[in-house]
Chains A and B, each alone.
Chain A
């Protein structure tokens, strides 16, 4: 590692011949995967020539090698990959033995990502490990799907289209979300009380002592109880109507199972009234009475209304729906047992005089009561044979009923747990929304239909050991992140020949008011993404495009800035980047040019990349600045990049907040001054950089030439430009952002940069972007998505 760093800093890439020579001279190769050294024969790697390691063998140029691995050193005959070392052990064993086994403790999802990265199809997994792997993966996929569905549902609850949406939303919250406010809670309690009251009235009504007799001599309701009933029904009706009126999607509301129950609880009453009123004098009164009785029975359904207020009941319902297979099995077992034992007991008992087992259907009742061990005792066998059959029937019944129940129970407990977790997640989300309303978080697009599951975020948050506030932050940033790039990719996909300018303008429209980013659009994109992902040939296309694009960019940079490289930044970036992907080839193909460039990358480039990384804190500050007077975007950007640097690798969320605060103060201090004189900006900027770079773990101090700390104007300007284009461009189209205009005035290079960016859009870039942006959708980890986006931003620069 150290040696490679030196090489990158001081010398040009090694000659093709050196590479070939080193490859032919040694039989073995050392692979350093995430710090763990492996040594393997080249011959072994040859066994799977189409995988990543197999291709390493074929690579004879510096660029192509850098495409495959993250770093290498010919002197040591060592290739570095920034991947999880644990998974690699089993993957390397696949080369050695031809059998792919999976480490037991490995998460199936992360293993599948590793497999994708190394270019190995999961089908090669041996059957002993494959079962577990697929089980886990399916489970996870299901969970993700459910999460997405939930998100989409929430998406539906938007009140933007029709009049007095504000009020309706309030009403909706009041009626549907008991936890949203105190009044809503009270309303829910009242509703529960009404349900209980009405059911009590219903059952009291049947007591003969409380019933009255009508003119026909038949028992009717007690008038007092009838009043209670009427009041309850009035309340239910009102509730239902209000819900219906305030619901954002009428048809969906109508279809909802809980609402159907509500309707069924109300309707019988009205039908009864209608029938009795209209048919009072008509002849078929008897028939009407019977119908009325049936409807009366339907009143019992109102007890199910309690399901709305109890998660337990809901999960019970869901469990029964989910485990209909097992329920069917239970019924089948019981039916077979009943059939067998009732016929047996019939044949045993039928010669007895005065027997109650008159036929097989008649003894069904006995068999049922015995198998369920209820045992009323109205029928019981009397002969010896019959008693033996009866004894067997008891034991068989106990067995047969007990067998499928644990499976159902398992389903139930799983679902119940899940429900509990979701409730918590919803609460968190609501808290977040409150925070948003309070103004602390603006311009966030939370309703991301394809947001990653909240659970995953939670895990990350727990790792960081953050407080609640932080939770929101983490929560939001990926959403924002995903929102814009996806849009971009969509536009570029639909109009590949358009210039970036137009596409940016398109982009600016929705992003200026993030609430407008409708779910439909996102879904559309999602579909497109899925399509592109399913095209495997994209993969190969990508590969073909790689070298040219990479070279282009390299040239551009070389011309601009002298090679003052920090290998450490390159590494820091690459390690984020290589975190994961679903379609590994798309991702790695797009990634490699970057890494190759980054080993000699000029410093100015790094911020450019960094700028697009939107941890929440920076954006927050951005907004602040905008409201303050728009003079400090520079430092705002600076903080942003520092946030990026502060959080390398998995510990992203550890300390950005702290450092940010410092930076923010800096920026306020140097606010206007910074803008008017770019050289004066240097000081805070540089300080940020020093802190940032010193925190980067992969950095080795001797690699850092002093020149890094002395920023010159050009690089800072560059840095500003790079920063602005990702987000400020959005505002560019709308032209409302004063800071943007100011910035443009102050730094002419911005304009240059922008134009340079706009002009140079070609299809390759779009395609690559597409490839990239598919990843967050399917990607398993949030921070992956975050990491990938910066690359994408980068991409657009480099296409120039």
Chain B
């Protein structure tokens, strides 16, 4: 490899099968037999056809200098320096600094398969590609939003309008108001649920049982109606009903609404004495717990919560690890504590399953103090278990945290990147037309100049 202007090798085919190429100003002399190791690559094709007609050559390279017998390629010389390695070492490493996506494009130009990329660089590449994919997804969403309403029917247009109103709080003022209202109603219903359980605020019904205050119940009903209306509107406006019904957020929504109606129907059945009253009440009690699901509805309004769920989903493995460490520790230390505390007459550790509770509380460093060891050995064991607990929690938590932080930081970046991508696309589509026009103008001007000159010379 030597810079172009040294110009020492004047012949492209000085020896048999030797070829001189000029890549963006860097001149390289290559040997044909080396190039033929990858016969499908562009350079190998060039070597093989170099004796043939110029048409093939011009299709393969950008320019051919017959005097110097040099093939010119209008490509990046830096990337080529890396790519040429494949002929000698059978593997390619992406030079640090070159964007991997860009490098892949170069490899495609030289018709070299991606599989020769070395492992170390492949992971680097796949990282970038993942990122690009995510950006592409976001872009798709944005484009869908931007899409002009080409819906023919009126119902479709209505549907789209509703969809935007319900799902895109940023699209318009009413949409934002709706989002805020639904957020507030979630909060109110959660508060009502909590306040309803305070005994002082409850009233006794005809049978002497404590039930919720009527005003609280009224608020609860109102919130439920709002949730139902929201859910139904969303469902009606969604373009793909099945997809909608199965997505997590909407499952949560459904779970939040469903108990209310089930309770209603059950009480109706109970009063009409089709079922036993005690059974009904038990079922109602069980369904009350389901009300908690409404808190998860907040996730729709908070990107932080979404990030959390995403991070947890991505780090399921680490969570499993955490649970496994914990359970192993719990088993070991509860068994140890049980055996060690046996000697004490007033031991609080009556059985191993009972001492599980103690182990959990100790290992997570909560320490209620309802069960505690009394013998010296047991106390030593407790100290060790506490230390192990700290380590067992801290070790697997780190990757989870890392995942979370990465996602949290990436979110904004991806958002801007997607926006930028859309802009770029618009720009590119607009540019093509303009370029054609400019090219025409330029050619005309050059012709005119030349003509003028010839006229002058003639005179």
Stretch at the interface among A45-53, A505-513, A752-760: A45-53
- Which of the residues B74, B97, B357 comes within 8 Å of A40, measured between beta carbons? B74
Closest to A333 in B: B308
Which residues of A have CB within 8 Å of B199? Answer: 358-359
Closest to A350 in B: B197
Q: Are A49 and B404 interface neighbours, CB within 8 A?
A: no
Stretch at the interface among B146-154, B271-279, B444-452: B444-452
Stretch at the interface among A94-102, A434-442, A557-565: A94-102
Given A27-B63, A97-B105, A336-B295, also A130-B420 (CB < 8 A): yes
Given A97-B105, A131-B416, A344-B289, also A104-B99 (CB < 8 A): yes
Closest to B363 in A: A394
- Asked if B92 lies at the interface with its beta carbon under 8 angstroms from chain A, I say no
Interface residues of B in 285-322 (CB under 8 A from A): 285, 288-289, 291-292, 295, 298, 302, 304-305, 308, 311, 322
- Which of the residues B24, B197, B289, B291 comes within 8 Å of A92, measured between beta carbons? B24
Which residues of A have CB within 8 Å of B397? Answer: 398-399, 402
Q: Are B99 and A332 interface neighbours, CB within 8 A?
A: no
**Bound: A127/B397 CA distance, A:** 32
**Distance to closest chain B CB from A526 (angstroms):** 27
- Asked if B98 lies at the interface with its beta carbon under 8 angstroms from chain A, I say yes
Closest to B396 in A: A399
Q: Are B424 and A380 interface neighbours, CB within 8 A?
A: no
**Bound: A361/B423 CA distance, A:** 51
- Asked if B352 lies at the interface with its beta carbon under 8 angstroms from chain A, I say no
Which residues of B have CB within 8 Å of A106? Answer: 97
Q: Are A130 and B367 interface neighbours, CB within 8 A?
A: no
- Asked if B232 lies at the interface with its beta carbon under 8 angstroms from chain A, I say no
Q: Are B435 and A49 interface neighbours, CB within 8 A?
A: yes
**Bound: A394/B449 CA distance, A:** 83
**Bound: A76/B7 CA distance, A:** 13
Given A39-B22, A360-B197, also A28-B288 (CB < 8 A): no
- Asked if B90 lies at the interface with its beta carbon under 8 angstroms from chain A, I say no
Given A128-B132, A359-B199, also A332-B194 (CB < 8 A): no
- Asked if B414 lies at the interface with its beta carbon under 8 angstroms from chain A, I say yes
Q: Are A41 and B63 interface neighbours, CB within 8 A?
A: yes
Between A37, A106, A370, A397, the greatest number of chain B beta carbons within 10 A of the residue's beta carbon is seen for: A37
Closest to A132 in B: B413
Q: Are B438 and A50 interface neighbours, CB within 8 A?
A: yes
- Asked if B243 lies at the interface with its beta carbon under 8 angstroms from chain A, I say no
**Bound: A39/B453 CA distance, A:** 28
**Bound: A369/B128 CA distance, A:** 43
Which residues of B have CB within 8 Å of A387? Answer: 357, 360
Q: Are B76 and A105 interface neighbours, CB within 8 A?
A: no
Interface residues of A in 350-409 (CB under 8 A from B): 358-362, 364, 369-370, 373-377, 380, 387, 390-391, 394-395, 397-399, 402-404, 406-407
Closest to A98 in B: B428
- Which of the residues B72, B190, B304, B364 comes within 8 Å of A395, measured between beta carbons? B364
- Which of the residues B24, B291, B308, B369 comes within 8 Å of A377, measured between beta carbons? B369
Closest to B289 in A: A347
Q: Are A332 and B132 interface neighbours, CB within 8 A?
A: no
Q: Are A127 and B420 interface neighbours, CB within 8 A?
A: yes
- Asked if B391 lies at the interface with its beta carbon under 8 angstroms from chain A, I say no
**Bound: A468/B404 CA distance, A:** 45
Q: 1/0 per position for B53-93, CB-CB distance to A under 8 A? A: 00000000011000000001011111000000000000000
Which residues of B have CB within 8 Å of A128? Answer: 99-101, 128, 131-132
Q: Are A97 and B102 interface neighbours, CB within 8 A?
A: yes
Between B285, B368, B421, B449, the greatest number of chain A beta carbons within 10 A of the residue's beta carbon is seen for: B368
- Asked if A17 lies at the interface with its beta carbon under 8 angstroms from chain B, I say yes
- Asked if A123 lies at the interface with its beta carbon under 8 angstroms from chain B, I say yes
- Which of the residues A38, A131, A360, A410 comes within 8 Å of B413, measured between beta carbons? A131
Interface residues of A in 81-110 (CB under 8 A from B): 89-90, 92-93, 96-97, 99, 101-106
Given A38-B24, A44-B74, also A377-B368 (CB < 8 A): yes
- Which of the residues B361, B401, B408 comes within 8 Å of A375, measured between beta carbons? B361
Which residues of A have CB within 8 Å of B75? Answer: 96
Q: Are B305 and A340 interface neighbours, CB within 8 A?
A: no
Q: Are B366 and A41 interface neighbours, CB within 8 A?
A: no
Which residues of A have CB within 8 Å of B421? Answer: 127, 130
Q: Are B292 and A344 interface neighbours, CB within 8 A?
A: yes
Given A58-B445, A93-B76, A407-B405, also A129-B99 (CB < 8 A): yes
Which residues of B have CB within 8 Å of A76? Answer: 5
Closest to B307 in A: A329
- Asked if A423 lies at the interface with its beta carbon under 8 angstroms from chain B, I say no
Which residues of B have CB within 8 Å of A103? Answer: 97-99
- Which of the residues A131, A360, A394 comes within 8 Å of B366, measured between beta carbons? A394
**Bound: A135/B414 CA distance, A:** 11
Q: Are A93 and B102 interface neighbours, CB within 8 A?
A: yes
Which residues of B have CB within 8 Å of A123? Answer: 420, 423-424, 427
Interface residues of B in 176-225 (CB under 8 A from A): 190, 193-195, 197-199
Q: Are B361 and A126 interface neighbours, CB within 8 A?
A: no
Which residues of B have CB within 8 Å of A145? Answer: none
Which residues of A have CB within 8 Å of B445? Answer: 58
Q: Are B439 and A38 interface neighbours, CB within 8 A?
A: no
Between B195, B420, B427, B442, the greatest number of chain A beta carbons within 10 A of the residue's beta carbon is seen for: B420
**Bound: A359/B4 CA distance, A:** 85
- Asked if B400 lies at the interface with its beta carbon under 8 angstroms from chain A, I say yes
Which residues of B have CB within 8 Å of A49? Answer: 435, 438-439, 442
Which residues of B have CB within 8 Å of A516? Answer: none
Which residues of A have CB within 8 Å of B360? Answer: 387, 390-391, 394
Given A27-B63, A127-B135, also A373-B366 (CB < 8 A): yes
Which residues of A have CB within 8 Å of B446? Answer: 20, 24, 60
Interface residues of A in 40-84 (CB under 8 A from B): 40-41, 44, 46-50, 57-58, 60, 76
Q: 1/0 per position for A103-143, CB-CB distance to B under 8 A? A: 11110000000000000000111111111001100000000
Closest to A358 in B: B199
Closest to B369 in A: A377
**Bound: A766/B313 CA distance, A:** 62
**Bound: A41/B413 CA distance, A:** 36
Given A344-B292, A361-B194, also A398-B132 (CB < 8 A): no
Q: Are A131 and B414 interface neighbours, CB within 8 A?
A: yes
Q: Are A105 and B102 interface neighbours, CB within 8 A?
A: no
Q: Are A41 and B74 interface neighbours, CB within 8 A?
A: yes
Q: Are A395 and B25 interface neighbours, CB within 8 A?
A: no
Which residues of B have CB within 8 Å of A48? Answer: 435
- Which of the residues A24, A28, A332, A376 comes within 8 Å of B368, measured between beta carbons? A376
**Bound: A315/B311 CA distance, A:** 29
Q: Are A20 and B3 interface neighbours, CB within 8 A?
A: no
Q: Are A99 and B102 interface neighbours, CB within 8 A?
A: yes
Q: Are A17 and B405 interface neighbours, CB within 8 A?
A: no
- Asked if B370 lies at the interface with its beta carbon under 8 angstroms from chain A, I say yes
Q: Are A58 and B442 interface neighbours, CB within 8 A?
A: yes
- Asked if B417 lies at the interface with its beta carbon under 8 angstroms from chain A, I say yes
**Bound: A57/B311 CA distance, A:** 53
- Asked if B326 lies at the interface with its beta carbon under 8 angstroms from chain A, I say yes
Closest to B443 in A: A46
**Bound: A58/B438 CA distance, A:** 11
Q: Are A57 and B442 interface neighbours, CB within 8 A?
A: yes
Q: Are A101 and B99 interface neighbours, CB within 8 A?
A: yes
Q: 1/0 per position for B330-352, CB-CB distance to A under 8 A? A: 00000000000000000000000
Other A-B pairs, 4, CB within 8 Å; known A57-B442, A359-B194, A403-B404: A37-B5, A359-B199, A380-B370, A406-B405
**Can you report 18 residue pairs joining A to B where beta carbons are below 8 Å apart?**
A16-B453, A37-B4, A39-B24, A41-B62, A41-B74, A49-B435, A101-B102, A126-B99, A131-B413, A135-B413, A328-B304, A332-B302, A336-B305, A339-B295, A359-B194, A375-B361, A380-B368, A403-B308
5 nearest A-B pairs in the assembled complex, by CB-CB distance = A39-B25, A375-B366, A377-B369, A101-B99, A394-B364
